Amino acid sequence: MDISIHASFLPQDDPEAALAFYRDTLGFEVRNDVGYDGMRWLTVGPADQPGTSIVLHPPGVDPGITDEERRTITKMMAKGSYATILMATKDLDGTFERLQSRDAEIVQEPTHQPYGVRDCAVRDPAGNLLRIQELP
């Protein structure tokens, strides 16, 4: 079987803030920017990995989501407890310095975790947690 991860989805509630963070702070390229019915979906990803993307989508737009579920998603996003993505870099300290210099919301500075990795954590403008691990 030949399966790869093509795209992951993260909610965003402010497309301009999401665009600034993922494009300008993380340095990702914008692969798609689609508006529909007053909403906006952004597809971003690392320039050197054209087959892997993150789709930043309006919260609670999935078919079958109730208004109450949509409100719950919005509350969880505001708390920063709705979505997480794990990224990796060969230069964790340099990446962290860039994030700090761009005023990213720091959750955890680079640290050695008891489970054997060194990583840091930040939140994007929508409250999604991004853990960034150092590659060996």
Cα distances (angstroms) measured from residue 51 to each of 10, 61, 130: 17, 24, 20
Q: Could you read off the pLDDT of 35-59 as tens digits, one per residue? A: 999 999 999 999 999 999 999 999 8
Task: Report the alpha-carbon distance of residue 90 to residue 92 in Å, rounded.
Answer: 6
Does residue 95 form part of some domain? yes
pLDDT over 70 percentage in the chain: 100
* CATH at 58: 3.10.180.10
Q: What pLDDT does 7 receive?
A: 95
Other Cβ atoms within 10 Å of 8 Cβ, number: 13
Residue 1 lies in a domain: no
- The answer on pLDDT for 62 being more than 90 is no
Say whether pLDDT at 4 is over 90.
no
Specify the amino acid at residue 20. Answer: A
Average pLDDT of the segment spanning 67-85: 91
Segment 81-103 shows an average pLDDT of 95
Query: Residue 27 is part of which domain span?
Result: 7-134
pTM: 0.92
CA geometry: angle 4, 6, 12, nearest 5 deg: 145
Number of residues assigned to the chain:
136
The token pair that represents 65 in the structure block: 């989501």
User: Does residue 69 belong to any structural domain of this protein?
Assistant: yes
- Is residue 28 assigned to a domain? yes
**Percent above pLDDT 90 for the chain:** 82
In this predicted structure, the answer to whether residue 136 has a pLDDT above a threshold of 90 is: no
Tally the domains of the chain: 1
